[in-house]
Amino acid sequence: MRCIANTGPLISAFQSESESLLGDFSERIYVPSGALPEYERHGARPLLRALESRGLVEVVSLDPVESETAVVLARRLAGQSPNRPDPTDHMGEAEALALFTAGRIRADLLLVDELPARALAMELDVPVAGFPGVLVRLAARGRISAVEVRARLEVCRSLGTHYSQALIDEAHRLAAKRSEEEG
């Protein structure tokens, strides 16, 4: 599977020390180059570089058409986000979505955690998952347990990621159910 990701899911993987599992989930993860400053702000750029050196992550620049699409998508996302009305706040997810919809990079899944971006992706028929969904899928493959899914998401939440208790509980439930079905 090939994915295009904005910062949220990968930063959550770094926060929860789950980056070693990413290769079990995806053969390649494409990251828009416009997301690099956010990785820097979170102190995660060295971890991203390590994934690049392993060949798991590839940083991709948008072409002019993709860049313009990203601006349009960022405006749409800002319009759906009353607490974040500035389109520049949404460029990371907009760039990832623009890369996916352009089709220049053949990807199977868009990785974003932000709810407005996930809603827009679904509206555009783009397959989407967040970091919790990645963990649930890894649990279904027997790579981690449902208890580990909960623990990793709770670590992220303790470090400031906005995962609600309801989301963590649901991810745990789904991981347990899928592990049962696969086992």
> What residues does CATH 3.40.50.1010 cover in the chain?
2-129
pTM: 0.95
8 A C-beta contact, residue 168 and residue 157: yes
What CATH number matches the domain at 2-129, 3.40.50.1010, 3.40.50.620, 3.40.50.1950, 3.20.20.30? 3.40.50.1010
pLDDT tens for each residue of the chain, 183 residues long: 999 999 999 999 999 999 999 999 999 999 999 999 999 999 999 999 999 999 999 999 999 999 999 999 999 999 998 899 999 999 999 999 999 999 999 999 999 999 999 999 999 999 999 999 999 999 999 999 999 999 999 999 999 999 999 999 999 999 999 777 765
